[in-house]
Amino acid sequence: MTSMTQSFTRWPVIEKDPRDFRVRPNLLDYADTCAAFTWDDARRALTGAPPAEATGGVVSSGTAMNIAYEAVDRHAEGPNAGKDALRFIGADGAAHSLTFARLAEETSRFASVLRELGIGSGDRVFSLLGRVPELYVAVLGTVKNASVFCPLFAAFGPDPIAQRMTLGDGKVLVTTRALYRRKIVPIRGELPELRHVLIVDAEGSPEEGTLDLAALMAAAPDYGPIAATDREDMALLHFTSGTTGTPKGAIHVHDAVTAHYATGLFALDLHPDDVFWCTADPGWVTGTSYGVIAPLVHGVTTIVDTEEMEVERWYRILEEQRVTVWYTAPTALRMLMRGGVSRARSHDLGALRFVASVGEPLNPEVVIWGQEAFGIPVHDNWWQTETGGIMIANYAAMQIKPGSMGQPLPGVFAAIVARDSEGRPILDDEGLPVLVTEEFEVGELALRPGWPSMFRGYLHEQERYERSFVGGWYLTGDLVRRDRDGYYFFVGRGDDIIKSSGHLIGPFEVETALLEHAAVAEAAVIGIPDEVAGEIVTAYVVLHPGWEATDALRLDIIGFARRRLGPAVAPRELEFTDEVPKTRSGKILRRLLKARALGLPEGDTSTVERPQ
Contacts to ligand AMP by CB under 6 A = 240-241, 285, 358-362, 380-382, 384-385, 405, 476, 478, 490, 493, 587
Cβ proximity to ligand AMP: between 240 and 328 the closer is 240
Q: What do you get for the CA distance between the two ends of the chain, in Å?
A: 44
- Residue 456's closest CA among 255, 294, 282, 262? 255
Q: Measured from the CB atom, is 69 or 354 closer to ligand AMP?
A: 354
Burial of 175 (0-12, 13-18, 19+ CB in 10 A): buried
- What is the CA 154 to chain-centroid distance, rounded? 17
Rg of the Cα trace of the chain? Answer: 24
Quote the least distance from Cβ 135 to ligand AMP, whole Å: 19
Output the smallest distance, CB 492 to ligand AMP, in A.
8
Give the nearest distance from C-beta 358 to ligand AMP in angstroms.
5
What is the C-alpha separation between 592 and 245, in angstroms, rounded? 10
Question: What is the secondary structure of 158-181 as a DSSP string?
Answer: HHHHHHHHHHTTEEEEEE-HHHII
**DSSP β-bridge partners for residue 211:** 198
Beta bridge partners of 499: 504
Distance in Å, CB of 38 to ligand AMP, minimum? 26
255 vs 360, beta carbon nearer ligand AMP: 360
Q: Residue 428 CB, nearest distance to ligand AMP (Å)? A: 26
* Nearest distance from C-beta of residue 497 to ligand AMP, angstroms: 11
Phi, psi of 289 (to 5 degrees): -65, -45
Q: How far is the CB of 412 from ligand AMP (least distance, A)?
A: 14
CA-closest candidate to residue 498, choices 487, 510, 488, 489: 510
Which residues are paired to 14 by β-bridges? 400
Min dist. Cβ of residue 240 to ligand AMP (A): 5
Q: For residues 147 and 240, which CB has a smaller minimum distance to ligand AMP in the complex?
A: 240
* Closer by beta carbon to ligand AMP, 80 or else 243: 243
3-state secondary structure 3-38: CCCCCCCCCCCECCCHHHCCCCCCCCCHHHHHHHCC
- Residue 447 or 543 having the CB closest to ligand AMP: 447
d(C-alpha 364, C-alpha 358), whole Å: 13
Q: Which is nearer to ligand AMP, 3 or 63 (CB)?
A: 3
Neighbours of 588 (CB within 10 A): 26
Q: For 495, which DSSP code?
A: G
In the complex, least distance from residue 584 CB atom to ligand AMP, rounded to whole angstroms: 10
Residue (285 or 539) nearer to ligand AMP, CB: 285
Of 151 and 299, CB closest to ligand AMP = 151
How many residues does this entry show for the chain? Answer: 612
Segment (H or E) for 517: none
